[in-house]
Amino acid sequence: MMRSDVKNDFPIFANWKKKGKPLIYLDSAATTQKPQKVIDALDEYYSRYNANVHRGTYELSQLATDMYEEARTKVARFINAGKSESIVFTRNATESLNLIAYAWGLNNLHKGDEIILSEMEHHSNLVPWHIIARHTGAVLKFIRMSSDYRLDLQSLKDNLGPKTKIVSVVHVSNVLGTINPVKEICRLAHEAGALAMVDGAQSAPHMAVDVRDIDCDFYALSGHKMCGPTGIGALYAKYELLEKMEPFMGGGEMINEVFPTTSNYAKPPYKFEAGTPNIAGAIGLKAAIDYLEKCGMQNIMEHELELGDYAASRLAEVEGIHIFRPRATGTGVLSFTVDSVHPHDISTILDSEGIAIRAGHHCAQPLMRKLQVQSTARASFYLYNDKSDVDALAGALEKGIALFRPRKKANVVE
């Protein structure tokens, strides 16, 4: 059970008031709110032990370095990475995915090689591969989605072959909330001799993740989607693969020796962290993970699932609604459309009641086309939401829809 006073841990709920209405934040799939503990951790770093890392020869710098490395160890433990050297700090999941696309993809893919993605990918696991495919001549293939918004593993099996070099899929869809069977997908990829990457932007924040059990080669996450600061993310990679990979960016921190015309590189993960990293971000991410672990990942997942189910049943009563969510094992993500009201109008209607949802294509335009919609409205829940938030959502939605009730032609005289 989730504590009922979790909202109090997040100062924004006390600070943001729209026309005196409390903030009902249902856009955590976009970014999450930050607990005071995380804000304090940032403040403490800057006010007490700010220094650059890995190059200082004095105590303050050593302290900053220790804190930064502790954060790495924390992330490694959080997703059961085994060794902390398997964790590369990045800006966000997008950069983690790009890192692999560029550093691994550009150097290992050749004309005719195949990359398998799925029909429910976020643009961040799609557009980098478009670029790499254009450079290398590799070909993109897609795991089909069923009418119940699940990946059809048969279509993965049909697509896999000797030319498949990598399979990269989203763990939890940011639009549908579908939890994909990534362990099985990785097993099938490996059987075919391919590598497997998992986009964990929407799984790491919401459930206990074990990358070694999943047996993925690469896993991407974003700190800001899990109560951490913006500008910090992580890539998990099997260490042997990191050792074999070319660097992503060049500069300070990632080198060993530099000569006028050549250089050799530091060991991973440093080889992939060029320049001064987001030290404060990493420390903030550690504080976020500490916070989430205290709440309990199992707890968080169950809480969100309960809210997702409750919201799905409440909203099902709304006239003209279409909900895009798998029948079983959804998460706290709920995309929907309403026949007579455009998603953007829904968002404005809800905003006027202090309810923040997202309307749009959610960075998944190919999926929108597959769903045959231009956009959807999406409510996404996190540990600080409760049933009263769902009730507010349903109530405001009913009210707004009444405003858009079809009227007769010709203007109504008031």
Partner 1 sequence: MSLNDLFTEIILDHYQHPHNHGIIAGATLTSRGFNESCGDDIQISVLVKDGVIADAKFSGAGCSISQASASIMTDLVRGKTVEEARQLAGMFYEMVKGTEGDYGEEMGDAISLQGVSKFPVRVKCATLAWHTLEESFAKTNNGENK
Ligand X SMILES: Cc1ncc(COP(=O)(O)O)c(C=O)c1O
Positions that interact with partner 1 (CB under 8 A): 341-345, 348-349, 351-352, 359-361, 368, 374-375, 400, 403-404, 406-407, 409-412, 414
CA angle 273, 274, 278 (to 5 degrees): 65
Region binding ligand X by CB under 6 A among candidate stretches 33-41, 58-66, 88-96, 246-254 = 88-96
Of the residues 65, 86, 98, 124, which one makes contact with ligand X according to CB under 6 A: 124
222 binds ligand X (CB under 6 A): yes
Residue from 186, 216, 295, 363 carrying the catalytic annotation: 363
Minimum separation from the CB atom of position 399 to partner 1 (A)? 9
Minimum separation from the CB atom of position 411 to partner 1 (A)? 5
- Per partner kind, with CB cut-offs from 5 to 8 A, the member of ligand X, partner 1, none near residue 189 is none
Of the residues 32, 86, 92, 331, which one makes contact with ligand X according to CB under 6 A: 92
90 binds ligand X (CB under 6 A): no
Minimum separation from the CB atom of position 96 to ligand X (A)? 8
- Per partner kind, with CB cut-offs from 5 to 8 A, the member of partner 1, ligand X, none near residue 124 is ligand X
Minimum separation from the CB atom of position 364 to ligand X (A)? 8
Is 295 an annotated catalytic residue?
no
Minimum separation from the CB atom of position 398 to ligand X (A)? 28
Enumerate residues 9-68 that contact ligand X by CB under 6 A.
29
358 binds ligand X (CB under 6 A): no
For residue 150 the two structure tokens come to 């699940």
363 binds ligand X (CB under 6 A): yes
- Per partner kind, with CB cut-offs from 5 to 8 A, the member of ligand X, partner 1, none near residue 93 is ligand X
Catalytic positions are 363
Which residues of the shown chain bind ligand X in the complex (CB under 6 A)? 29, 92-94, 122, 124, 170, 174, 199, 201-202, 222, 363
